[in-house]
Amino acid sequence: MLKNFFIFILFFLFSSLIIAENKIKPLNVKKIADGVYVHYGKHENIYEGSNIGDIANLGFIIGDESIAVIDTGGSHQVGEALKLAIKKISKKPIKYVINTHVHQDHIFGNTAFISDETLIYGHFNLKKALQERGSQYIRQVSEAGDKVKGTRIIFPHIIIAETSPDQVKKLSNEITIDLGNRKLLLTSHATAHTYSDASVFDLKTKTFFVGDLVSDERAPTMDGLVKNWIKVLNEIEKVDFKIMVPGHGKIQKDNTALKKTRTYLQVLYDDVIDALKKDMPAEKVIKIAAQTEKDKWILFDRVNPGNVVRTFMRYEWEY
């Protein structure tokens, strides 16, 4: 009798340990406008320590008939957690997933949203960008181990562009989707933060999801082209919005974060060009470029060096 009791207790403890570890909790989301919700990502390094890919801002918009999700997180688990959060608020079908760009923290939750009724939208370069980086990203994810198990690359189904009927000519870089009395304007931008940046504008509340084109608090990652990114910021600065949702950091009521991002990029560019004119060795440039911006950004020392490297590589041959 006692022996059976012992076995039962051990079995119960053991299995509840396993179940507790695997249970996914819904993400914390905040309502920022009528039918618009945002989850704030943590300012951490992706997959380091206990981080499972929750570092970017994710959002969703609820229309009369369906829901659109903007970015899905950095792992299958974050995607599932986001989906749970959405289901707590609305049972409407999630018909649209929009990835603002190629980076892991924005696309790797896509697996949680695969369904017959869901279409994934992305910049016309997004699929190409995922194909280029796919093996690198998957390697990184496999090294992160069990905690991000099930994370895979899912390509977009629909490109954010109007094309001629034969799909040969691109007619415009914008398309509109309708969630049921709720139109969203999706735009594929010119090369900026990456080669695949897209934005989402909710006409009803004038909420502008800009992906990583604008960053607040967290040091911006320059993975596209510096000067082109500044140009794109100059364009989106003119948009009449009520709320801007950057890829990282707090929501904005004006262009403050946009200007901060642009200032950083200009300083980065100026410092690298100055160093190239002086024929400074690469190691030194990486140490000193954009250091005047250091105290303004979180994770600066982890993010800035890569930005300097990529800017340096782009312009080295011109000096």
Binding site for another protein (CB under 8 A): 2-3, 6-7, 10-11, 14, 128-129, 131-136, 139-140, 142-143, 145-146, 279, 281-283, 286, 302, 305-310, 313-314, 316-317
> What is the amino acid identity at position 257?
A
Task: Give CA separation, 110 vs 10, 52, 193, in Å.
Answer: 38, 14, 21
CB of 18 to another protein, least distance (A): 10
CB of 276 to another protein, least distance (A): 11
- Of 222 and 251, which CB lies nearer to another protein in the complex structure? 222
CB of 28 to another protein, least distance (A): 30
- Of 185 and 298, which CB lies nearer to another protein in the complex structure? 298
- Of 89 and 280, which CB lies nearer to another protein in the complex structure? 280
CB of 63 to another protein, least distance (A): 34
- Of 49 and 145, which CB lies nearer to another protein in the complex structure? 145
In this structure, the chain runs to a length of 319
DSSP string, 135-204: HHHHHHHHHHGGGGTT------SEESSEE-TTS-SEEESEEEEESSS-EEEEEEPPSSSSSS-EEEEETT
Please state, in angstroms and rounded to a whole number, the distance separating the CA atoms of residues 63 and 51. 32
- Spatial contact of 312 and 285, defined as CB atoms under 8 Å apart: yes
**Tokens 């931008």, residue?**
189
**Phi/psi of residue 270, nearest 5 degrees:** -60, -45
CB of 132 to another protein, least distance (A): 4
- Spatial contact of 136 and 145, defined as CB atoms under 8 Å apart: no
- Of 165 and 281, which CB lies nearer to another protein in the complex structure? 281
CB of 302 to another protein, least distance (A): 8
- Of 114 and 282, which CB lies nearer to another protein in the complex structure? 282
Please state, in angstroms and rounded to a whole number, the distance separating the CA atoms of residues 101 and 122. 7
